[in-house]
Amino acid sequence: MAKIEHVSPLAPEKFPELPVIGGVRFAALEAGVRYSGRTDLMLAELCEGTAVAGVFTRSSTRSAAVLDCQEKITEDLEGKAAILVNSGNSNAFTGQSGFDSVAKITAAVAEEMGIEQNRVFTASTGVIGEPLKWERITAKIGELSASLEEGAMEQAARAIMTTDTFPKGATQTATLDGVEVKIAGFAKGSGMIAPDMATMLCYIFTDTAISREVLQQCLWLDNASTFNCVTVDGDTSTSDTVLVAATGKADMAPITDFADPRVRVFRDALHAVMKDLAIQIARDGEGASKLIEVQVTGANANGPAHRVAMAIANSPLVKTAVAGEDPNWGRVVMAVGKAGERAERDRLTIWFGDILVAENGWVAPSYTEEAGAAYMKNSEITIRVDLGLDNGTATVWSCDLTHGYISINADYRS
């Protein structure tokens, strides 16, 4: 894996100050899963009664850990729970040994922490197709358990990084019936990023009292307009996992019905955390120098709008034009046309930021190449497209495509 020597120029100034979430403790350390000299293993302990919801990649070659989590996530168990994540090796496409590794790891965590094995959720991220050296992980479970503490979320965020250049964290609060609840989480993702139910690894924690069924509905819906709207390179990972854990430690009456009016308030805060983390992933795209936001309006429906937006965001020609600060709007036209959705030349309107670029089937009379070139020098670029057909809308986030992406991935395993 290429050594990351520079932090993304789009990175936030610092990791946010994340609150302590009642009922959650974290630990992180070096296990030498693949590399030495880096923290690569994290553990989160969740108190009794924690509700856990999840969404996962729909890749046909998803990892053993993903398949294991998918089986467990639908169970309503009341005991303590745990999440263990390693970086360096994805334990994907590793045959029966992959499932055996997950079983060994979850059994070791369960025994050490007094947790039912069906309440131990794992994830692995890194190189595909190499057997996971699970013994290096299980050898550290005791040390991890002994070092658990409430305020170690940043250390946990750093432990799951692969080619990420910075750890990604976000937090929000919400007031439910006069009670302030907290939501905080972290994610990893930099390359092999394309949405398909979930994208990258993400773990979000809240002290909200909410049932697993309602929490799952909230996550499913909010995922559609956050993590499923970010793309770096169009490649869907075998390991994509998003878990949300609600400990119920807040002093409030539990939310057990999705029709409860408090759900909307909770979802707004959860959505804000998820959107923040999704955009941070785009900011940390491998080799990225510019953040790209694509807004599509006027489509037949939201689904077609999303597919057009993703066609633009995933286009190598659009992404390299942005990298080269070239206002080549013809590439946007191309991407709209290849999306396979209804579009009519003379109804199409394109903007770079607030600059009207094209309308009525041709370049806008007011547009100048100088204005477009000046706009492209910004570190954050917005491409707006109106199809002029109906009221379908979508917004997605991506990044430019530079030589840095090639450099990172050309020697990823070295």
pLDDT, average across residues 228-245: 87
Helix (H, G, I), strand (E, B) or coil at 219: helix
CATH topology classification for 24-284: L-amino peptidase D-ALA esterase/amidase (3.60.70)
| pLDDT confidence tier of residue 409, bands split at 50, 70 and 90 | confident
Residue 199 known to bind ligand = yes
Q: Provide the b/e sequence for 128-154 (b: ≥16 CB within 10 Å).
A: bebebbbebbbebbeebbebbeeebbb
Identify the sign of the CA torsion 127, 132, 136, 142: positive
Q: With a cut of 60, say whether residue 412 has pLDDT above it.
A: no
Residue in 122, 199, 208, 297 annotated catalytic:
199
Residue 48 known to bind ligand = no
Q: Which CATH number fits domain 291-411: 3.40.50.920, 3.40.190.10, 3.10.20.340, 3.40.50.720?
A: 3.10.20.340
Residue 236 known to bind ligand = no
Domain boundaries, given as residue ranges, for the chain: 24-284, 291-411
Amino acid at residue number 183: I
261 contacts 147 by C-beta, under 8 angstroms: no
pLDDT digits over 251-303, tens only? 999 999 999 999 999 999 999 999 999 999 999 988 899 999 999 999 999 99
Structure tokens at 36: 């030495």
278 contacts 313 by C-beta, under 8 angstroms: no
Would you give the end-to-end CA distance of the chain in angstroms? Answer: 5
94 contacts 131 by C-beta, under 8 angstroms: yes
Half-sphere exposure in the Cβ direction for 245 (13 Å, CA):
29
| pLDDT confidence tier of residue 163, bands split at 50, 70 and 90 | confident
199 is known as an active-site residue: yes
Residue 402 known to bind ligand = no
DSSP state for residue 74 in the 8-state scheme: T
Strand partners, 86: 41, 124
How far is 24 from 149, CA to CA, in rounded Å? 8
How far is 203 from 174, CA to CA, in rounded Å? 18
- Say if pTM beats, i.e. exceeds, 0.85: yes
| pLDDT confidence tier of residue 5, bands split at 50, 70 and 90 | low
Residue 286 known to bind ligand = yes
Q: What backbone torsions phi and psi does residue 82 show, to the nearest 5 degrees?
A: -150, 150
